[in-house]
A and B are shown apart, each in its own frame.
Chain A
Amino acid sequence: MNATPLLSGRGLTKEYPMGAERVHALCGVDIDVYPGDFLALRGPSGSGKTTLINLLGLLDVPDQGTLRLDGRDTATLSENERADTRRDRFGFVFQSFNLIPVLTAAENVAYPMLLKPQPRRPSATAPGVALPPASMQSWRAALASIPSAKPEPPGDMQARAGELLAAVGLAGKEHVRPDLLSGGQRQRVAIARALANHPAVIFADEPTASLDSRTADTILDLMKQLNKERGVAFVLSTHDPRVVERAARVIALHDGAIEMEAA
């Protein structure tokens, strides 16, 4: 892989307190994630897979080491900037799906889109602010040029949520609440949700652990297909050999250190 890494971790170290002692969850791990990657992190329980995913996904901060996103040191990001980065650049798929129970499948998918800031209406009377362009097209172009302020209009959100659900094979399930879906269907909704804001990377922590083997195969095939078709990178932590079989790259972790890396 000779492309510029999307994410680049060097010397990533993380410790957790456990009673009076401190557990070394990660000990100086070096890792790169490339655009369009399909990377599996494997290893036994306690090897540091989840900790590494948490650090790469900006859910946690390393005690030592640096993590760069597009070349920028993530240590310089404020808490809100980290949240915005997760929203705009990353997607997450959890072992136990973590869908919001009060939302329908489509609403769950649309939720990350809602988190985008709403654009401010330009004021015609404010000094120094140009009047909105006359045509809708040029107005949209002006809106699109505002950095990190590209919310989907409500209608577009619904349409996109429907499209994503269809892409994961859940057309017709838009208005169903998560408690009425099977485990596999819930994980599909979670994948669709992860895709909502056109992420560069989707982090999936043990995505097949709560699924039967047939469903797990289907989910993995879906992820692989999305990886190929949409170019979105996947970083998966797993015990599951089927995940490893499908991965383009595999990093084996043991006691918080990289034991082996294979393409």
Chain B
Amino acid sequence: MNRLTVAWRNVTRNRRRSLITGGIVAFGFVSFALAGGFMAQSFDGLRLSAIRSGLGHVQFADARAFEKSEGTTLEFGIRRADAALAVLRADRDAEVVMPRLEFYGLVSTGGTSIPFGGTGVDPQAEARGSDIPKTVQDGQWLQADARAVVIGRGLAKLLNARVGDDLTLLVTTPDGTLNAVDATVGGIADILIRELSERYLALPLPLAQELLAAPDTVSRFSLILHDGANESAAAVRLGSALRQAGVDLGARLWRDLAVFYQQVRVLYIGIFGFMGTVLVVIVFLSTFNATLMSVTERTREIGTLRALGARSRRIATGFVLEGALLGLASAIGGALLSLLITLIVNLAEIHMPPPPGMAKGIVIHVQVIPVVYLLAALAMIVTLAMASFLPARRAARAPIVESLAHV
């Protein structure tokens, strides 16, 4: 006989009550584990989506470009782009290097002129490192040597343009003169964010450089790194290599640039944190009530134990041990239940409606995160131990003769 055995026997003493209390705790655990798994999956999806939206894992640009917008076209442009590109491509961690030339201009079909945000890209690199080429439903993605452009569906609608239509692109070059080129609509991309869709225009990098009269110039480089590469270390190493090649550029990691990801993350953590707190409070109050009943029923027993020489602290810790044991057993049950529900949900492929601003719905997928399971178990054990401690401490400090006389 040891304290653990006695505590477990007390837990199983009133089986129905322990089952109900354990059920509440297991429910709390399942909620934690599933919400945590869903959250982790969402963060993972958003992270990948942000990186594949063109941000890449690391970006290199003129350091000022990360701080403010350009006052004039290509004010912060990288002039020796080919040299920089060679350095970046040579790195062991670089999987895809995507040079970008960003600018603003007017696009016209003859009758209508609409402002656009243009991006000159390397079509092949973009096809490997970004998901935007996959959104082209009408026509096709850019070809390196063609004069075809890809526009967002929103812009196509505003221009009333279709694949094969002729366009004129009008810009202000870095030296302040106006320049224009003719192009055709090669493809229409389904950009999910409407505001972006109405301004999106991608064109091959040589065509963009010709339009802006800026040969060997880009705005930034986005890098997709190999799986498992250390982003921060790669950024430092590549920055140093670029400086050695005579190109001094600033670096930013994707998480510093992915504003939407960070906002969603904060929002999710806030929502789930609030829900988690409410859950813990509910579990605490429910189990507190059960523990209070148990302690009250055992008041006389507490008096007997104290008469036999048990110190108040020993009695209170005995109840805490019972609470912790029940919490542990319930957490184990909750973990098994969570795994089962996770399996069912993932196999069922439940579709959620599209989130605001998005065109496509998402399939619910719940990850099994061991840390979340561990934290949930810890939260449940501590909650139950706390719920046991408060009434037990009070009962253990009550006058012995009153406890012995309790009916």
Contact = CB atoms under 8 A, between A and B. Distances in A.
A84 B310 CA distance: 8
A102 B307 contact: no
Contacts of B310: 83, 87, 115
A84 B309 CA distance: 6
Interface in B270-319: 300-301, 304-312, 314
A80 B1 contact: no
A83 B400 CA distance: 11
Contact of B304 (A54, A85, A94): A94
Given A102-B13, A103-B1, A115-B314, A60 B399 contact: yes
A88 interface: yes
B302 to A, nearest CB: 11
Contact of A86 (B1, B10, B307, B314): B307
Contacts of B87: none
Question: Most chain-A CB neighbours within 10 Å: which of B308, B312, B401?
Answer: B308
B283 to A, nearest CB: 25
Interface string B208-238: 0000000000000000000000000000000
Interface in A81-125: 83-88, 92, 94, 98, 100-103, 107, 110-112, 114-115
Majority secondary structure, A binding face: helix
A124 B6 CA distance: 33
B306 A83 contact: yes
A80 B300 CA distance: 19
Given A83-B310, A83-B311, A98 B300 contact: yes
Contacts of A94: 304, 404
A59 B401 CA distance: 6
B243 interface: no
B309 A102 contact: no
B401 A87 contact: no
A98 B400 contact: no
B9 interface: yes
Given A60-B400, A102-B9, A110 B1 contact: yes
Majority secondary structure, B binding face: helix
B221 to A, nearest CB: 61
Interface in B1-58: 1, 6, 9-10, 13
Interface in A36-61: 54, 57, 59-60
A100 B13 CA distance: 11
A103 B301 CA distance: 12
Contacts of B308: 86-87, 92, 111-112, 115, 193
A83 B396 CA distance: 12
Nearest to B304: A98
A80 B404 contact: no
B309 A98 contact: no
A54 B304 CA distance: 12
A101 B401 CA distance: 20
Contacts of A88: 309
B309 A103 contact: no
Contacts of B307: 57, 59, 86, 92, 98
Question: Most chain-A CB neighbours within 10 Å: which of B304, B309, B311, B400?
Answer: B309
Contacts of B10: 102
Contacts of B305: 100
A102 B6 contact: yes
A245 interface: no
A83 B308 CA distance: 8
Contacts of B304: 92, 94, 98, 100
A208 to B, nearest CB: 18
A227 B308 CA distance: 20
Nearest to A55: B401
Contacts of B312: 79, 83
Nearest to B12: A102
A84 B306 CA distance: 10
Question: Most chain-B CB neighbours within 10 Å: which of A79, A80, A87, A100?
Answer: A100
Interface in A221-240: none
Contacts of A57: 307
26 contacts: A54-B401, A59-B307, A59-B401, A59-B404, A60-B400, A79-B312, A80-B311, A83-B306, A86-B307, A87-B308, A88-B309, A92-B307, A94-B304, A94-B404, A98-B300, A98-B404, A102-B6, A103-B1, A103-B6, A103-B9, A112-B308, A112-B309, A115-B310, A115-B314, A193-B308, A197-B309
Sort A-B residue pairs by CB-CB distance and give the 10 closest, nearest first. Answer: A87-B309, A102-B9, A98-B304, A86-B309, A59-B400, A83-B311, A107-B1, A60-B401, A92-B307, A112-B308
Interface of B: 1, 6, 9-10, 13, 300-301, 304-312, 314, 399-401, 404
Given A79-B312, A80-B311, A92-B307, 11 more contacts: A59-B404, A60-B399, A83-B310, A83-B311, A83-B312, A84-B311, A86-B307, A94-B304, A100-B304, A103-B6, A115-B309
